[in-house]
Amino acid sequence: MADKNQPKNATLFETTKVDTNSNDSLDAETQDYIAKFLDISQNAKENDKQDKHMSLKEGLKTFPKAAMWSVILSTAIIMEGYDVNLLNSFYSFPDFVRKFGEYYPDQDKYEVPAKWQTALSMAVNIGEIIGLFLAGIISDRIGYRKTLIGALMMVTGFIFIVFFAPNVQVLLVGEILLGLPWGAFQTLTVSYASEVCPTVLRLYLTTYVNACWVIGQLISSCILKGMLSSDMKDSYKVPFALQWMWPIPIAIGVFLAPESPWWLMKVGRASEAKKSIMRLLSENEHTPDKEILANAMVDKMKMTIKEEAAVQEGISYWDAFKPQNIRRTRVTCFTWLVQNITGSAFMGYSTYFYVNAGLSTSNSFTFSIIQYVLGLVGTLLSWFLSQRFGRFDIFFGGLCTQAVILLVTGCLGTVKSAGASWGVGSLLLLFTFVYDSSVGPICYCLVTELPSTQLRTKTVILARNLYNLSGIVIAIIMPYMLNPTAWGWGAKTGFFWGGLAVLSSIWCWFEMPETKGRTFAELDMLFTQGVSARKFKHTEVDVFDVGHMMEKIGQGGIRDVVEDKKAETMHVERV
């Protein structure tokens, strides 16, 4: 007979090591539960191992549909990149300036007042902050697909406001409202990408979001370049109107896509999660029977969620700041903040310095197009770099390189000549390439890998909102930094952003862990054990350890796992 002072869960574990026919410690029913729990945990462990060692070729053959659906949903980000760049570029677009600007007799030209430029630039960030928080609450209740479809319908309606805006005040309202659905796009697309694909494809599908940003900016720059010579009345409305071509096709794609199986598991819909997984898989020489793999993936998700639930009670925003989650929340939030405060805002002003060097407005748009092409090429390069280097290696290396470029840019700012302006503009083009091959895209992968499964969407939202809050501050101070009638720093602004890049590199070294090749279960274990950031890469962990899990979730948890499995099996048989 077991010692009465021995913990119940330890007793359960010890029982698995003795004769299963023994009636001294556990009855036959409990033994049956434990035997089935052992099968489920072993199934989950084997699937996690298979996921960890899956090759890129095998991943593409087994999950081609998962990649396709992820790409379709992430395409929604193109709209945000398009509009944000469109609005910033409109300030030098003659027809837009005549409509929403004011006439300055002393300069004999129209200009959008600085206060309205700042307000419009901040409007989208404000809307996105609100939209992100709402998206987290709504998606937890109704799922990713329905939330995204609703957001796309909102975009369709709100475009009418900016298209027909009679004055700058109405335009401001329209941009704030458009920020609401864009907030949903920012978090749900990357979360979905990370949850429907295996570990080997996670980087490619999450960093594709960065490519969508760049594609949106590139499209808007090309359209504006083409519209510069137009004599059409209210020609600025054409770029706004072109936004209507996106929502409906993407909404149809989202409607046809399977729901995130991780979300379905979190809300207790295991049978639907399995159906969703079956739709994501394709049979091949590596996976001759996809139902076997689907069952194993369901078991892994169930065990991961159950183990996390044993140490945290809820999935509210407040839970992200509790002791067991605060480290993951902090690192995720700072990762996205670093992306925004280390020169990414500065690189958008390359054309500003080219114009100062004597380049025409038309040619400045051409250089904007070149900049975004470099950004797109950089994102593609990050995919090749990731095959050889880890997430931390690429992010940290890119950050250090950005710091050097920015500090050199600041030095050129001390020289007053057209040649120096050409040099600054060219360095910022180089900065764009470095940023979009390292910090820019890798950030999207990291922010989905660092949070816990239970709190992934909530943590991504908190991180992106810190990004947006910093964006509001940057939108306020950047015009002052560059404007010769204000602080007048000009290219010396590079010293400011370069200094922040140096500080961020130091933080990165001590706080950012290496997540390459790690499954979600392994990352949970590493954070739970408190492994330091620089030891993540080489620390071996044993996930889904039966003894550890039985102690953690208890007898009631074991029964829940087994009963859920029975219910799932019965549902499939009825279907």
What is the model's pLDDT at position 10?
Answer: 42
pLDDT at res. 19: 46
pLDDT band at 313, cuts 50/70/90? low
Burial class (CB in 10 A: 0-12, 13-18, 19+), 541: middle
280: which 2 tokens?
Answer: 């994501």
Residues 6+ apart with CB under 8 A from 485: none
Residue 16 is predicted with a pLDDT of 43
pLDDT digits (tens, 9 = 90+) for 483-534: 766 687 877 888 999 999 999 999 999 999 999 888 888 898 899 889 999 9
185: left (phi over 0), alpha (psi -120 to 50) or beta: alpha
According to the model, what pLDDT value does residue 356 have?
62
Determine the Cα–Cα distance for residues 23 and 555; give it in Å rounded to an integer: 17
In this prediction, residue 352 carries a pLDDT of: 66
Q: 91: pLDDT confidence band, cut at 50, 70 and 90? A: confident
- Per-residue pLDDT of 25-34, as tens digits, reads 556 666 665 6
Name which of 70-84, 340-354, 434-448 the model is least confident about: 340-354
pLDDT at 81: 84
pLDDT of residue 314: 58
Report residue 130's pLDDT band, with 50, 70 and 90 as the boundaries.
Answer: very high
442: confidence class by pLDDT, cuts 50, 70, 90 = very high
**CB distance 167 to 436 below 8 Å:** no
Q: Which pLDDT tens digit goes with each residue over 131-159?
A: 998 998 899 899 999 999 999 999 999 99
Residues 350/428, Cβ–Cβ less than 8 Å = yes
pLDDT number for residue 12: 42
pLDDT score of 361: 67
Q: Which helix (H) or strand (E) holds 153?
A: helix 144-163
Residue 213 has pLDDT above 70, yes or no: yes
Averaged pLDDT score across all residues of the chain = 82
